[in-house]
Structures are given as C-alpha cells and as structure tokens.
C-alpha cells in the first residue's frame, strides 16, 4: 500500500485482518506523517514513538497468535490513535494544556485510555488543548496555538482542537477528546471529521482532569461514524472508580444503513439570526437527505434554548473554580516562590494560569460566594432542569434531534481574542446537550464558499449512542463529505 495514512480506521483494521499491513507499519506511517505535517499544525504536545512501537509490536503478536489459533481480536487492536492531553496516560507527561501542570507525569491511566490499550490500541501521543479544556479554539493552550489543517490561519475549534486536527490531517486514525460544552463536536465540525459526545456517565471520567464535573464527558473523533463504533465499544461501560459512571450495560452497536421510520425533530430555535447562510443551507440539505432515506422529519421546539449559554457560564465556571483550587504549587507541577504560603499560592496561580482560566475561576467563585449563590448558581441549576425537560418532552415525540453544530465555519486565529463573549457564542448550539447529559454526534455535511467544512449534529436520548452512530453512518453511506481531506495537509 502506497500511503497507509490515507486509510480510514476501518480500512486499516481490514488491512490488519487481511495481513496486508502490520500495526508496526501503520504506526511508523503515522509517526512519519506527524514529522512531516505537525510542524505547521501543532496538533501534538507530546509524542511517544518508542512506547507506540512497543505497543504495535505487542498488537502484531496478539493478532498473529489469534490468527494461528483461529481466534478473533478486538477491532481496534493495532490501530494508532492520539489522546487529548486532559486524559492521564501512565508514565507520559500530562499537562491539560496548562503551564501549572508542566512536568506532571501521572502514575496511572484514565479508564477510557486503559480500556483501549487493553484492547490493543496504539497511542501515538498527547494532543493540544485549550488550558483545562476551557475554550472553543485551542488558542488558550499554554503551549501554543493549534492550526486548522484546512486553513492554517484559522482555528481548529476547541477544546479538542488538537485531536480534531490530528485526525483531519491524517496523523492518526482516531483521537480521544472530551466534551464539556461542545469540545468534541465543535472541532469535529471545524475540521471536517466525525465526533461523538457520549452521554454523561457512559464513559468513565476516572483519569480525566476535571473542568466541570457535572458536564465533562469523554468522546472520540475519527473520519466516520463507522470508525467510531469500535472505540466507543471499548471505552464505554460502568467503572467502579467513577461514582458518576452509568451502571447500565452497553448494547452492541448495529450499523444497518437504515433510518427508515425514525422520527427526526428540527428545532427552529437553533436557526438564529447571524448564522452564516451556507451553514443553514448545508444543514437543511442534510436533513432532506435523512427524509429521502425514509426518516420522518418534523419541526420541534426547545423553548429554553436561549438560556443555555448564561446557564452554562454560571455552572461550568462554578465547578471549575472548585476543581482548580487544588493547583496551588504544593501537590502538582511547578512551584513559584514567596515569603509565605499565601504568597506562594498567589504567585504560582498568578503566573501559571492563563487569562481564560483566571476569568472562569473568578466568575465561578463570584457565583458561589455568600449572598450570590442562590441568585446565580442556584437559579442556574433550576433553569438547567427546564432545559433537560425540554429535551425529555421532545424525545417523547421524536427519536433524534438534528441541528447545526456552530453558527459559523472555522473563524480566524485571534478573531475573538479581545471579545470573550463572542467566543462563548460559538458554543450556543452545543451547550444544551451537556446541560441535559445527552449524547450527540457531529459530522461533515458540506463546505462554505471558502472551502471550510460545515458540520451538523444529531442528539439522542441519554445512553442512545448506538442510535446516533447508526443514523450518522446511514447518512455517510450516501454522501462523501467525510471522505474529503485538507489539501494543505
């Protein structure tokens, strides 16, 4: 095979199954690709080539033994992937994109990563992220900006921008990401790949460096929905080390190419003033494709959608302010000096936290402070319940909800640098799913006039990831948007 990195994850797995390629060959091809491309993309923060090649060799031996005895092996065995740098990987530096964790090497791996490695996945390295996953562009990393492979002057989205860019630029067959308010789906849309946000609790958060504990979810990005099935199957399921892990078993995902009879709701609240016309047009065309495949499309209403943004930016910063209190120069990472303990706290946090993290800590601390808790945080939680009830009511009538991922395509690097609110507005369509704890999947449905990818998302009831993957796969069987690749990558 001339260029192994052009294969999709499923094609790479087929090549392994047929003996046409080895895991070591796939891994070397990805590492060579990273060496060629990542200098202008900056998707990776840490590469682990020796570790990856050891894992590849182990996977090849596992496959050879299984073939010898007529056994099977996991579909993801031997596949090289990348991991967002907010997920702990034993013995590998893990920074969460922050200087305050520089030099931190965890003694354990996140459950999601450990389960994949147990099934034979090869980890190439750790990808760039907005600091502590706080951002929508991967411009807030303490280690430099990641560039969109479709246009290096534009952002890849965030906070899983490094993972999305790695997949789009063919440096990895898939990548793990996390989604607290859209951080898998939005970069998937900006980079023209497919991203799955799992239900809250479906994939263990053990080993995930926390941002918002009631919002954080672990997901994955790949070229297609079909590529994501094996990754999801390996990661998902109960975990005794995570008290918020869903106890329900994980059904097998069946991709039959059919959406006939499914009821798809289209919320009019998601088609807002200011949305770029090509985005709305592409999403509505994609909805028409579902109708053509036999789905029943109908308008629905999610009346509290416009409240999701203020609710999220009260709850998420409040949880962040509590979670980030532990980074004080005592327990993790570097320490800045001071004449006393308080001076050490102030200098360490003041010098090593970035401006966006400081902004959210201040917002959250204010919302939780005496005299303001009930008026802000408490009230936000009540409205969050209304948002969840909106989805409950909608899913009593429809099976899936189809809507845009973002109001625009990828914006320019630095475009929102002086206006945090305009950056927050980029997440207006993705935040509700996190507040409600439901799953979502984003996938490419077209391009704008400048050749930038446009994404659409589907949402489903809690724990219905299989339905999302089935529906997105049915769409991708009759379209080819997900097969396009960036020219400059």
CATH number of the domain to which 84 belongs: 3.90.1300.10
Per the CB < 8 A criterion, the answer to whether 107 and 207 are in contact is: no
Query: What pLDDT score does 418 carry?
Result: 79
In a domain, 57, yes or no: yes
In a domain, 460, yes or no: yes
**Options 159, 224, 245, 321, the catalytic residue:** 159
The share of the chain scoring above pLDDT 90, in percent, equals 92
Beta-bridge partner residues of 232: none
Q: Would you call 84 a catalytic residue per the annotation?
A: yes
In a domain, 429, yes or no: no
Residue 287 CA to residue 460 CA, distance in Å, equals 15
pLDDT(489) > 60: no
- pLDDT tier at 2 (50, 70, 90 boundaries)? low
* Predicted confidence (pLDDT) per residue in 308-324, tens digit: 999 999 999 999 999 99
Query: What pLDDT score does 423 carry?
Result: 87
In a domain, 106, yes or no: yes
Residue 234 CA to residue 230 CA, distance in Å, equals 6
Query: What pLDDT score does 441 carry?
Result: 99
Query: What pLDDT score does 462 carry?
Result: 98
Q: Picking from 133-147, 161-175, 320-334, which range would have the lowest pLDDT averaged per residue? A: 320-334
Q: Would you call 159 a catalytic residue per the annotation?
A: yes
Query: What pLDDT score does 420 carry?
Result: 82
The share of the chain scoring above pLDDT 70, in percent, equals 99
Per the CB < 8 A criterion, the answer to whether 83 and 122 are in contact is: no
Query: What pLDDT score does 341 carry?
Result: 86
Which residues, 6 or more positions from 403, have their beta carbon under 8 angstroms from its beta carbon? 266, 267, 270, 283, 429, 456, 457, 459
In a domain, 21, yes or no: yes
* Predicted confidence (pLDDT) per residue in 68-86, tens digit: 999 999 999 999 999 999 9
- pLDDT tier at 32 (50, 70, 90 boundaries)? very high
Kindly report the average pLDDT of the chain as a whole number. Answer: 96
Number of domains in the chain: 1
**Options 183, 224, 234, 245, the catalytic residue:** 183
* Predicted confidence (pLDDT) per residue in 241-276, tens digit: 999 999 999 999 999 999 999 999 999 999 998 899
For the stretch 194-227, what's the b/e string if a residue is b when 16 or more beta carbons lie within 10 angstroms of its beta carbon?
bbbbbbbbbbbbbbbbbbbebbbbbbbbbbbbbb
Query: What pLDDT score does 488 carry?
Result: 58
* Predicted confidence (pLDDT) per residue in 165-194, tens digit: 999 999 999 999 999 999 999 999 999 999
pLDDT(1) > 60: no
pLDDT(18) > 60: yes
In a domain, 230, yes or no: yes
159 prior amide bond cis, ω within 30:
yes
Looking at residues 379-406, what average pLDDT do you find?
A: 98
Query: What pLDDT score does 254 carry?
Result: 96
**Options 8, 22, 23, 84, the catalytic residue:** 84
In a domain, 121, yes or no: yes
Query: What pLDDT score does 343 carry?
Result: 87
* Predicted confidence (pLDDT) per residue in 85-130, tens digit: 999 999 999 999 999 999 999 999 999 999 999 999 999 999 999 9
**Residue 449 is part of which domain span?**
4-262+439-483
How many beta carbons lie within 10 A of that of residue 315, not counting itself? 25
- pLDDT tier at 426 (50, 70, 90 boundaries)? confident
In a domain, 77, yes or no: yes
Query: Does the pTM exceed 0.75?
Result: yes
pLDDT(160) > 80: yes
Residue 191 CA to residue 352 CA, distance in Å, equals 30
């Amino acid at each position: 095979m001339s260029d192994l990195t052009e294969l999709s994850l499923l094609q790479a797995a087929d090549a392994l199954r047929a003996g046409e390629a080895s895991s070591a060959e796939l891994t070397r091809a990805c590492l060579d690709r990273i060496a060629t491309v990542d200098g202008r993309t900056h998707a990776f923060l840490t590469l682990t080539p020796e570790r990856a090649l050891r894992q590849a060799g182990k996977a090849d031996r596992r496959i050879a033994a299984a073939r010898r005895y007529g056994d099977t092996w996991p579909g993801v065995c031997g596949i090289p992937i990348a991991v967002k740098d907010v997920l702990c990987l034993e013995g590998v530096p893990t920074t969460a994109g922050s200087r305050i964790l520089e030099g931190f090497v965890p003694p354990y791996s996140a459950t999601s990563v450990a389960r994949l490695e147990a099934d034979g996945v090869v980890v190439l390295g750790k990808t760039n992220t907005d600091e502590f996953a706080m951002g929508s562009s991967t411009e807030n990393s303490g280690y430099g900006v990641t560039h969109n492979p479709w246009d290096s002057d534009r952002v890849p989205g965030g906070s899983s921008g490094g993972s999305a860019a790695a997949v789009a630029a063919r440096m990895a067959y898939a990548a793990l990401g996390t989604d607290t308010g859209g951080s898998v789906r939005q970069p998937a849309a900006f980079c023209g790949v497919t991203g799955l946000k799992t239900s809250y609790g479906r994939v263990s958060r053990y080993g995930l460096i926390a941002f918002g504990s009631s919002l954080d979810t672990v997901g994955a990005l790949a070229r297609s929905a079909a590529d994501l099935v094996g990754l999801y199957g390996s990661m998902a399921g109960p975990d005794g080390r995570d008290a918020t892990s869903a106890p329900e078993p994980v059904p097998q995902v069946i991709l039959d190419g059919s959406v006939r009879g499914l009821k798809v709701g289209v919320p009019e609240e998601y088609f807002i003033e200011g949305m770029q016309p090509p985005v709305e047009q592409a999403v509505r065309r994609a909805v028409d494709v579902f109708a053509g495949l036999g789905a029943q499309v109908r308008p629905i209403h999610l009346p509290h959608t416009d409240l999701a943004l203020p609710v999220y930016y009260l709850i998420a910063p409040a949880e962040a302010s509590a979670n980030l209190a532990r980074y004080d120069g005592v327990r993790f990472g570097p320490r800045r000096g001071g004449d006393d303990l308080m001076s050490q706290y102030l200098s360490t946090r003041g010098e090593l936290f970035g401006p966006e993290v400081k902004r959210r800590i201040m917002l959250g601390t204010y919302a939780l402070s005496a005299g303001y808790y009930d008026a802000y945080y408490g009230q936000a939680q009540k409205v969050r319940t209304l948002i969840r009830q909106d989805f409950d009511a909608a899913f009593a009538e429809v099976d899936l909800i189809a809507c845009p991922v973002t109001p625009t395509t990828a914006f320019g690097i630095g475009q929102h640098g002086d206006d945090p609110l305009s950056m927050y507005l980029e997440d207006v369509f993705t935040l509700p799913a996190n507040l409600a704890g439901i799953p979502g999947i984003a996938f490419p449905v077209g391009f704008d006039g400048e050749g930038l990818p446009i994404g659409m998302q589907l949402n489903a009831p809690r724990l219905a990831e299989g339905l999302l993957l089935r529906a997105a796969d049915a769409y991708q069987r009759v379209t080819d948007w997900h097969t396009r690749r960036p020219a400059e990558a």
